[in-house]
Amino acid sequence: MSTTSLPTPDHSPRLRAALLAADFTADGLLDLLGAPAYAALARSETVPALRATRGDTPLETLVRLFLLQRPVPRERAAVALPLDEALAGGWVVEAAGEVRATVDVRPYGGPEGQDWFVVSDLGLAVGGAGGASGHDEGVVLGVGGASTTLAGITVRTPVGTALDLGTGSGIQALHASQYATRVTATDLNPRALAFTRLTLALSGAPAAELLEGSLFEPVGDETYDLIVSNPPFVISPGVRLTYRDGGMGGDDLCRTLVQQAGERLNTGGFAQLLANWQHVEGEDWQQRLRSWVPNGCDAWIVQREVQDVTQYAELWLRDSGDHRTGPEEYAARYDAWLDEFEARKTKAVGFGWITLRKSGTEQPSIVVEEWPHPVEQPLGDTVRAHFERQDYLRTHDDAALLADHFVLAPEVVQEQVGLPGAEDPEHVLLRQNRGMRRATKVDTVGAGFAGVCDGTLSAGRILDAIGQLVGEDPVLLRDRTPQAIRTLVEEGFLEPAPGPR
């Protein structure tokens, strides 16, 4: 399907009104289908949803039409839609008394309860599970796990300008339209830009500036307050599918994107993206990623998952449907992936999040960590707070730290770990129940210190009191404790107390 045969946004307001009137929303779908069928649909499994939509209500008609890609009788479509306008706009086509959808339209709940719709190619509302098999390389996917992950970690504060680089079906641009005065969306694939225009129009969001081209080339020398990107980060032996294969060797596309993002950010601006990176024989992966960070930027890089090269190849061979080809063809493609990794001395591939902030400092904070544990989305506020804490620690030496006042972060709890019946615990844990959900081991002094941090006393005064209680020299305690306080602040267990003291 070329871009000229895609629907036009002209009739979007009437179509949107009809979808909402039928309760064709994220909540409406959950109520109609039930949780199991709703979850199955997110995995591209349609049978449970087909069983749940055997009636003739407008909502059931719309689900069958736009989500399940089933033809519906004209008379049913005319009840659920302004059919003449939907036909004129190219959203549906009619043949032999039946109406079919030309695109996938998926309800999507915005962060503040907005009823949005993401428009993508038929059958490609979510990635994986062979979703792109049999389609042209320029197919455009809808909302998948990577899209929602990026949306969840994005810092969402009011900004003047935002750039969605590699927009796909436009979900990040849709989010950005709620807090950015001007949104620019780019993509190498012109079909993706057409779908982004439809997603924004059908969601009732402001239009974005849409530019065709690779990486930062379409935007010239423009700078932005926020850059987000879910790029084609797959490390593959060639370009077969535009939405996932970046066209550069290894992880060069992600590296280039990170390195070029610094000069495209305004001071204080954030660049946030998902990425894959190689674990190369003889190289420390953390140092390798540190070398990507541009000058003048703080960075927080979180590795969420690591796969060996066989697991990684199999994942993306399934994604493109190669597991359903003949055994010889599958083996040849699998071999090509392993040849690529062997040539690059790649032993594994990491996946995670990269956030840059343009600080302009000569002493940047670059944190590279592995965190495969569950987190609480959305994490945008957690990401912003991380960089605020780095600013604080960079400007406070040990003396300033001891003179300051702290409070325990919300929903931090203390756990004592030891054998049943033992007089004293083996160790004490502080655990976060929000955000990154970290846990850290502390000694008796650290636990006592955190427990009384309510902003009333300075850190130094608290340590003096603890020293008297446990019989330790307060001077020695002041000397050895600031690093522990610094770690508790850096990881978000303690926060500087607000307001004047």
Structure token digits, residue 340: 């690529």
Contact assessment for residue 265 and residue 202, using Cβ atoms and an 8 Å cutoff: no
Give the three-class secondary structure for 396.
coil
DSSP H or E segment with residue 194: helix 190-202
CA-angle at 202, arms to 353 and 37, nearest 5°: 65
Sign of CA dihedral 468, 469, 474, 476: positive
Contact assessment for residue 354 and residue 367, using Cβ atoms and an 8 Å cutoff: no
Contact assessment for residue 450 and residue 408, using Cβ atoms and an 8 Å cutoff: yes
> Along the 501 residues of the chain, how does pLDDT read in single tens digits?
455 589 999 999 999 999 999 999 999 999 999 999 999 988 888 999 999 999 999 999 999 999 999 999 999 999 999 999 999 999 999 999 999 999 999 999 999 999 999 999 997 554 333 344 445 668 898 998 899 999 999 999 999 999 999 999 999 999 999 999 999 999 999 999 999 999 999 999 999 999 999 999 999 999 999 999 999 888 888 766 666 766 677 899 999 999 999 999 999 999 999 999 999 999 999 999 999 999 999 999 999 999 999 999 999 998 878 888 889 999 999 999 999 999 999 999 999 999 999 998 989 999 999 999 999 999 999 999 999 999 999 999 999 999 999 999 999 999 988 778 766 777 899 999 999 999 999 998 999 999 999 999 999 999 999 999 999 998 999 999 999 999 999 999 999 998 765
Nearest to 1 by CA among 197, 193, 138: 138
Nearest to 296 by CA among 257, 262, 338: 262
Give the three-class secondary structure for 429.
strand
Give the three-class secondary structure for 17.
helix
* Residue matched to tokens 């109609």: 32
Determine how many CB atoms are found less than 10 A away from the CB of residue 308: 13
Give the pLDDT score at 229: 98
Q: Report the 3 state secondary structure along 225-239.
A: EEEEECCCCECCCCC
Q: For residue 254, report the phi and psi dihedrals to the nearest 5 degrees.
A: -65, -40
Contact assessment for residue 175 and residue 151, using Cβ atoms and an 8 Å cutoff: yes
Whole-angstrom Cα distance, residue 267 to residue 173? Answer: 21
Give the pLDDT score at 75: 97
CA-angle at 270, arms to 208 and 194, nearest 5°: 20
Structure token digits, residue 411: 């929903």
Q: Tell me if the bond preceding 218 is cis, omega within 30° of 0.
A: no
Half-sphere exposure (CA, 13 Å, Cβ side) for 178? 17
Strands 104-109 and 98-101: unpaired
| Single-letter amino acid, residue 100 | R
Distances in Å between the Cα of 210 and the Cα atoms of 42, 106, 196, 371, 491 are 28, 22, 8, 35, 39
Give the pLDDT score at 72: 97
Q: Report the 3 state secondary structure along 439-454.
A: EEEECHHHHHHHHCCE
pTM of the model: 0.93
DSSP H or E segment with residue 406: strand 405-408
